[in-house]
Homo-oligomer: A and B are copies of this chain.
Amino acid sequence: MQEAMSVPNGKKRLVLALAGYGTVGTGLAKVIEENRDWIIERSGSEVVIKSILVRDVKKPRNFPVPAGATLTDDHEALLNDPEVDVLVELMGGIEAPKKLIAAAIRAGKHVVTANKALLAEQGLELFELAAEHGVHLKYEASVCGAIPILDTLKENLAGNRIMRLVGILNGTANYILSEMTSNKLDFATALKQAQELGYAEADPTLDIEGLDAAHKLCLLTRLAFGVNYPFEQLPVVGVSKVEPEDIEFAREFGYRVKLVGQVQEVDGKIEAGVFPTLVHHTYLIARVGGAYNAVRLEGNACGPIFLHGPGAGDLPTASAVLGDILSVARGAYPNNTGFVRQVPPLANIMSPDEASSKYYFRVIVRDVPGVLRDLAGALAEQDISIAQAIQKEKGAAEVPVVFLTHEATARAVKAAVEGMKAKGLVVREPVYYRIL
């Protein structure tokens, strides 16, 4: 029988300080307890939670504080504890965790976090700091829960040029769209149901307006393309304005409506964004239901790779956090950004207006002779041609005309919409979505 693999400093015990003891924190404590022996077999280390930083030490918790651990509200004591090897940051927010993580790195501690908002909006200086101090800053749990997409990009596919990546990056939005599709709910009802089931927060803005997906897309763009696409510049449209009619019409054409985050390199420029998007029902990504997440990417060697799994939840997120912790326990070298350089250069960003896609349109018109011809004319003026069309409910005063276009730029699409409105062809604001 072999000796244990080498563990840093011959240490057989990895001591954690948790910051935050909510859903993910308690999930992590649960998994560490349940899988204790297994973790030792896998990593050679016992993983021990020593202290848990919370705002209110008296608040009742979902799961008992692990034996031997103490709740504390004292940041300094935790950071100055020489026994603590790893800070596991699960508190949420941006300013407070940033301060805490920076202090932990300066104190020579490794950091594992699930905080996509912090890393997307202000992560670059933390990566630089971690590299200076030679510590791990691991964050697999911040994108798509248990799905191992970050390490896959940093490690396994590191020899590939990634050409394109698309993902269903937010389980709440996907759940809402799935319910609107399967059970023909409207947005408000589906959102309420998601909230009742715990899939959506009381304030669901980050999820339904696409901002959470955009945070994740920022992190994925850095790892896949090695460049920084500033979060504030990313075009983002959420699901709060998606109407049931469009889901139905899309289905008639063979598509599902999904909130898709996508990034690709086109002629040396990065085109990225989060949009409600029509996905053909035969694509695996159209099959992602409920609160699941998925990522599909294409590399110049690996071809198309598709990863699917639970995108959130206490245990799936804890699974990813624990994977990161065990890589620290095992003594892997830090590979924080997936690149030698710790601060990626600014992306050569394609103006969102130049982004090209096929489009789905729904316009409401007065049912007068020649209206379809005039609509086609407004599109043709912008060099947009129609691939398929549906016109229904002939005879009503106002009728929907629905069509799919061939490839067009976002600029041409906007101009065509302005043209339709200027010519008085439409009786309300046209609805249009990209097609994947």
Contacts and interface: CB of A to CB of B under 8 A. Distances in A.
A301 B284 contact: no
B300 A304 contact: no
13 contacts: A2-B128, A5-B333, A32-B159, A146-B157, A146-B299, A151-B156, A155-B326, A157-B319, A284-B287, A300-B315, A301-B322, A302-B309, A308-B308
Contact of A310 (B34, B35, B304): B304
Looking at A42, A304, A343, the one whose CB has the most chain B CB atoms below 10 A away is A42
A113 interface: no
A35 B147 CA distance: 26
Copy number in the complex reads 2
A89 interface: no
A343 B155 contact: no
A160 interface: yes
A318 interface: yes
Nearest to A296: B308
B309 A158 contact: no
A22 interface: no
Contacts of A340: 2, 4-5, 40-44
B300 A310 contact: no
A170 B158 CA distance: 24
Interface in A125-165: 128, 131-132, 134, 140, 146-148, 151-152, 155-161
Nearest to A301: B319
Looking at A148, A316, A327, the one whose CB has the most chain B CB atoms below 10 A away is A148
A63 interface: no
Q: Is the interface of A mostly helix, strand, loop or mixed?
A: mixed
Contacts of A318: 159, 301
Interface string A403-415: 0000000000000
Contact of A159 (B42, B160, B313): B42
Interface string A1-17: 11111100000000000
Interface string A196-229: 0000000000000000000000000000001000
Contacts of A152: 148, 152
Given A43-B158, A326-B159, A306 B303 contact: no
A107 interface: no
A119 interface: no
